[in-house]
């Protein structure tokens, strides 16, 4: 068990988050910020971002120590994937339990609700070429060649990460999943095989209740979208431990560069491996 996991289990969540924030501040002081050239080196040589790629990006600009502004990082990513590539970002507009949000009867404004998934995600949302999926809890932003295809129809299934979601569709293009300034704790793609398997998945990850979320479209029309929410059971999980024990580095690789956390995962083989393990009863929720 890692020190981080041990602390998470021993202290209240609020205290854990405070300790983690202080640690990241300390770590930033120990290392010089990454330059544009160094960041480009990591993206190309460590994360394998190439022209024409489809790349799903998880990030934290608070924890990523760079010496240039966030919009330049987005521009660098767009430059690397080029006109034939596509960038994808989580763009959920709240950072608490989906069930609590859906019970609040709030309205998700597709055009104006800011992303709560970090500054880089918000910059992507504001990009004039961005498409945002219509989903009240698990909205996704995409920019690039296949952005429209990925984001359409997300609202037409009660499973937020199921076969109509960008998570599933991106496997058609062998999408890579990268983490910038975040660890393997943040790999939301793992909910895709859970939702695709749904009742065949050996652990209950969704609520029984089907919720109705309100979404305001750009033309002002307000629609209702049916969706399941995450079960309260999913809080007890060990994603890094699961990767370390059951997933090869050819599918998922985490590393540090000058004090910064990064990871890269390959969507299709990772999906197949998670499904294979699930059918044997092994999940991120019961890592021994």
Q: What backbone phi and psi angles, to 5 degrees, belong to 134?
A: -85, 95
> Using 50, 70 and 90 to split pLDDT, how confident is the model at 105?
confident
| Upper half-sphere CA count for residue 111 (Cβ side, 13 Å) | 8
Asked if residue 285 is part of any domain, the answer here is: no
Of 78, 88, 70, 73, nearest in space to 51 by CA: 78
Are 91 and 107 in the same domain? yes
Please indicate, yes or no, whether residues 12 and 103 belong to a single structural domain of this protein: no
Whether residue 127 is found in the same domain as residue 102: yes
pLDDT score of 1: 47
Dihedrals phi, psi of 198, to nearest 5 degrees? 35, -105
Averaged pLDDT, 91-108: 94
pLDDT digits (tens, 9 = 90+) for 65-77: 999 999 999 999 9
Statement to judge: residues 188 and 69 lie in one domain: yes
- Tell me, yes or no, whether 80 and 130 share the same domain: yes
Residue 288 lies in a domain: no
Could you tell me if residue 225 is inside a domain? yes
Encode pLDDT of 128-154 as tens digits: 999 999 999 999 999 999 999 999 999
Report the pLDDT averaged over residues 21-42: 80
Instruction: Decide if 212 is inside a domain.
Output: yes
Percent of residues, the chain, with pLDDT higher than 90:
83
Percent of the chain with pLDDT over 70: 90
Residue 254 lies in a domain: yes
Structural contact between residues 36 and 72, judged by C-beta atoms closer than 8 angstroms: yes
Residue 7 — very low, low, confident or very high, per pLDDT cuts 50/70/90?
low
Name residue, tokens 């995600």. Answer: 121
Do both 244 and 165 map to the same domain? yes
The residue-averaged pLDDT of 191-210 equals 95
First to last CA, the chain: 10
Residue 286 lies in a domain: no
Clarify whether residues 157 and 215 are in a common domain.
yes
Question: Does residue 94 sit within a domain?
Answer: yes
pLDDT in tens, 150-159: 999 999 999 9
pLDDT interval class at 235 (50, 70, 90): confident
Residues 6 and 147 in one domain: no
- The distance of Cα 183 from the centroid of its chain, to the nearest Å, equals 11
Quick: pLDDT tens for 112-131. 999 999 999 999 999 999 99
| Together in a domain, 81 and 23 | no
The average confidence (pLDDT) of the chain is 92
Q: What is the pLDDT of residue 20?
A: 61
**Residues 99 and 4 reside in one and the same domain:** no
Q: If we measure between CA atoms, which residue out of 135, 113, 126, 237 comes closest to residue 187?
A: 237
* 156 and 80 within one domain: yes
Query: Do residues 80 and 198 both lie within one domain?
Result: yes
Residue 10 sits in which domain range?
1-30
Average pLDDT, stretch 242-271? 95
Full-model pTM: 0.89
- pLDDT for 3 beyond 60: no
pLDDT given for residue 6 in this prediction: 61
Total structural domains in the chain? 2
């Amino acid at each position: 068990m890692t020190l981080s996991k041990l602390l998470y289990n021993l202290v209240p969540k609020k205290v854990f988050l405070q300790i983690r924030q202080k640690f990241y501040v300390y770590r930033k002081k120990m290392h010089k910020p990454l330059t544009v050239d160094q960041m480009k080196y990591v993206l190309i040589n460590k994360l394998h971002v190439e022209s024409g790629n489809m790349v799903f990006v998880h990030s934290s600009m608070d924890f990523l120590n760079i010496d240039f502004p966030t919009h330049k990082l987005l521009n660098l990513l767009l430059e690397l994937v080029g006109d034939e590539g596509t960038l994808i970002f989580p763009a959920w507009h709240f950072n608490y339990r989906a069930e609590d949000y859906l019970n609040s009867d709030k309205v998700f404004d597709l055009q104006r609700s800011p992303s709560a998934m970090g500054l880089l995600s918000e910059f992507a949302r504001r990009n004039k070429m961005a498409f945002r999926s219509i989903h009240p809890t698990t909205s996704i932003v995409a920019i690039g060649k296949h952005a429209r295809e990925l984001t359409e129809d997300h609202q037409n299934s009660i499973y937020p990460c199921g076969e109509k979601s960008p998570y599933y569709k991106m496997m058609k293009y062998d999408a890579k999943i990268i983490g910038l300034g975040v660890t393997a704790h943040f790999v939301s793609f793992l909910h895709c095989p859970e939702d695709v398997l749904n009742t065949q998945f050996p652990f209950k990850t969704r609520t029984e209740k089907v919720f109705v979320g309100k979404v305001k479209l750009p033309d002002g029309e307000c629609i209702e979208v049916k969706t399941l929410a995450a079960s309260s059971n999913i809080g007890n999980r060990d994603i890094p431990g699961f990767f370390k024990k059951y997933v090869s580095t050819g599918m998922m690789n985490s590393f540090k560069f000058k004090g910064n956390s990064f990871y890269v995962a390959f969507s299709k083989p990772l999906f197949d491996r998670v499904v294979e393990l699930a059918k044997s009863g092994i999940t991120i929720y019961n890592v021994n």
